[in-house]
Amino acid sequence: MIFMPKISKLNRNRIDLHVHSTHSDGRLSPQNILRQCSQERVNMVALADHDRLTPDLRAVARSLGIRLVISTELGCYRNDPTKMEHPLHILGYGIAPSSNKILNKLAALDESRRNDCSRFRQALEAEGLEVREEDVLREAKGQIPRRFHYSGATAKNPNNFELLSRLSPDPKLKYATLRQIMSDCVSRTSVLSPAEATNLIKSSGGFPVLAHPCHKSDGWPTPDSPGLAEFIEEHLPLGLIGMECYSSHHQSHMIPQLIKIATDLNLAITGGTDFHGREGERLGAIKFKDVSTFIDLTDDMLNPRGCQIIYSASDLG
C-alpha cells in the first residue's frame, strides 16, 4: 500500500535517477556531475551510464551531502536482439559496485562489439561505400561503435551520397538500407535481451526498472501502445520492479497514464532527466506539475514490495 506524507523539509531537495557521465556518452565526468548536483541542490543521483558501471564515488558524494545510487542503463532489444529493432533500456539501481558478474559480462559485451566493427566495415565496403574511421569514432562519441554509428558515419559522408541515392532512392529509407546491408553483422554475444539484462542486474544486487518506455526513438510511442503492459507483466517474474514514469522524454500527458500502468502492476514509480550534460539540460529538472507523486529510490525503497513515496511532487516545486 502506498502512502504519501508531506515532508516539508524536503521542499528544496531534488533527485535525479537517470544521469550519464563520460563513462558512456555524457559530457561531464562523474566528479563534475556530483559537484554540479551540489550546486543545483540535487541530493540524490543515480549515475546510470550505458552498459557501464561508473566508479564507486559514494564517499565523495557523501562528503557533498549527496546520496549516490550505483546504477547502470543496459541497452537491449525486444524480439531477436541481433536485428537491433525495437530497442529498450533497462535501468539497474543499487548494483553492488564490485560485482564480478556484471563487470565480466560488460567486458565480454565490449569485446564482442569490438569484433563486430570489422564486419560492419566489410559489409559496407563490399557495397562500394566509404567508411572513414574518424567519422565512425565521432559518431560513437567515445563508446565502442555500434551499427547505428556506422550507419550515421556512412550516410553523412559526401563521398557516399551518389551511391547511397542509388541504393536507396527514397532518402527517408537510407538508414534502413544501411541497416539491411549490415543485417548479419551483429553477434548474438554483442546484445542483450530484456530477460538477460533484467537477470544480470538482479544477480548483481541491483533492481531492474524499465527506462523511459515512451522515448520517441524506442520503446512504445504512447503509454497505450500494444505490448507495453504485457511486456512488463512478462518481466515481473524476472525481477522488474519499477518503471521510469517521470522522464524528460515523456510528454506531460503521458505521465499519469504511465503511473496508472505502474500502480496497477504494483511497480515502483521512478524518474530522471536522462542528463547528458548537453546545452540546456539541467540536473534534477524533471517537471512534476501535472502529477502528484514521486517515489524516492532510497535504501529502504530498494525493497521491491516495500516502496514508499516519501514526498509529494508539489513539495518539489
What does the angle CA 188 – CA 194 – CA 197 come to, to the nearest 5 degrees? 80
Nearer to Zn ion, 185 or 211 (CB): 211
For cell 516519501, name the residue.
310
| Least distance (Å) between residue 293 CB and Zn ion | 22
| Least distance (Å) between residue 50 CB and Zn ion | 7
DSSP 5-32: ---GGGTT-EEEEEE--TTTT-SS-HHH
Q: Are 295 and 304 in contact (CB under 8 A)?
A: no
| Least distance (Å) between residue 89 CB and Zn ion | 4
CA 97 to chain centre: 18
Nearer to Zn ion, 89 or 179 (CB): 89
Nearer to Zn ion, 51 or 274 (CB): 274
Closest-by-Cβ residue to Zn ion is 89
| Least distance (Å) between residue 20 CB and Zn ion | 6
| Least distance (Å) between residue 219 CB and Zn ion | 9
DSSP the chain: -------GGGTT-EEEEEE--TTTT-SS-HHHHHHHHHHHTEEEEEE--BT------HHHHHHTT-EEEEEEEEEEESSSGGG--SEEEEEEES--TT-HHHHHHHHHHHHHHHHHHHHHHHHHHHTT----HHHHHHHHTTSPP-HHHHHHHHHH-GGGHHHHHHH-SSGGGHHHHHHHHTTT---GGG-B-HHHHHHHHHHTT-EEEE--TT-TTSS-SSTTSTTHHHHHHHHTTTT--EEEEEETTS-TTHHHHHHHHHHHTTPEEEEE--B---TT--TT----TT--EE----TTT-STT-----EEHHHH-
Nearer to Zn ion, 116 or 274 (CB): 274
| Least distance (Å) between residue 275 CB and Zn ion | 8
Nearer to Zn ion, 50 or 101 (CB): 50
| Least distance (Å) between residue 207 CB and Zn ion | 16
Nearer to Zn ion, 211 or 295 (CB): 211
Residues that bind Zn ion in the complex, under the rule CB under 5 A: 73, 89, 211, 274
Nearer to Zn ion, 225 or 292 (CB): 225
Nearer to Zn ion, 139 or 218 (CB): 218
| Least distance (Å) between residue 314 CB and Zn ion | 27
